[in-house]
Amino acid sequence: MQRLSEEDPQVIGAYRLLGRIGAGGMGRVYLGRSAGGRTVAVKAVHPHFALDTQFRARFRREVESARKVGGAWTAPVLDADPDAAVPWVATGYVAGPSLTEAVAEVGPLPEAAVRAIGAGLAEALTAVHGLGLVHRDVKPSNVLLALDGPRLIDFGIARATDGTASLTATGVSIGSPGYMAPEQIVGKDVTGAADVFSLGAVLTYAATGEPPFTGDSSAALLYKVVHEEPVLGPALTGDLRRLVTACLAKDPTARPAPAELARRLSGPAGASALLRPGWLPGPLVERVSRQAVELLDLETSALPADHPAPPATNPAPRGNPAPPAFEERGPGGGAPEGDLAHAPTATAKAAKSAAVSLATRKGRGCTLVLTVAGALAAVTTTAFFLGLLPGTGGSGRDGAAGRPAASAGPSRPATVLGGFAGTWTGQVVQSDGTPNGTMTSVITDDPQAPYAVRTTYDVLGVIQCHSKAKLTSATTGRITLEESTDGTAGPGCTGQTSAVTYTLAPDGTVAFTSDDEKGGKVRATLTRSGR
Query: Residues annotated as binding site for ATP?
Result: 43
End-to-end CA distance of the chain: 38
Neighbours of 457 (CB within 10 A): 31
Quote the distance between the C-alpha of residue 5 and its chain's center: 25
What backbone phi and psi angles, to 5 degrees, belong to 427? -95, 135
DSSP per-residue codes, 110-124: PHHHHHHHHHHHHHH
3-state secondary structure of 90: strand
For CA atoms 246, 249, 253, 257, give the dihedral sign: positive
3-state secondary structure of 55: helix
- Are residues 221 and 119 in contact, defined by beta-carbon separation less than 8 angstroms? no
- Catalytic hit among 137, 195, 486, 516: 137
What backbone phi and psi angles, to 5 degrees, belong to 523? -140, 160
Q: Annotated catalytic, 216? A: no
3-state secondary structure of 103: helix
- Are residues 391 and 467 in contact, defined by beta-carbon separation less than 8 angstroms? no
What ranges in 303-428 are assigned the alpha helix state H? 324-327, 345-359, 367-377, 382-386
One-letter amino acid for residue 329 of the chain: R
For 35, 467, 469, the CA distances from 154, given in Å and listed in that order, are 24, 34, 40
3-state secondary structure of 333: helix
- Are residues 377 and 343 in contact, defined by beta-carbon separation less than 8 angstroms? yes
What letter would DSSP give residue 397?
B
Q: List active site positions.
A: 137
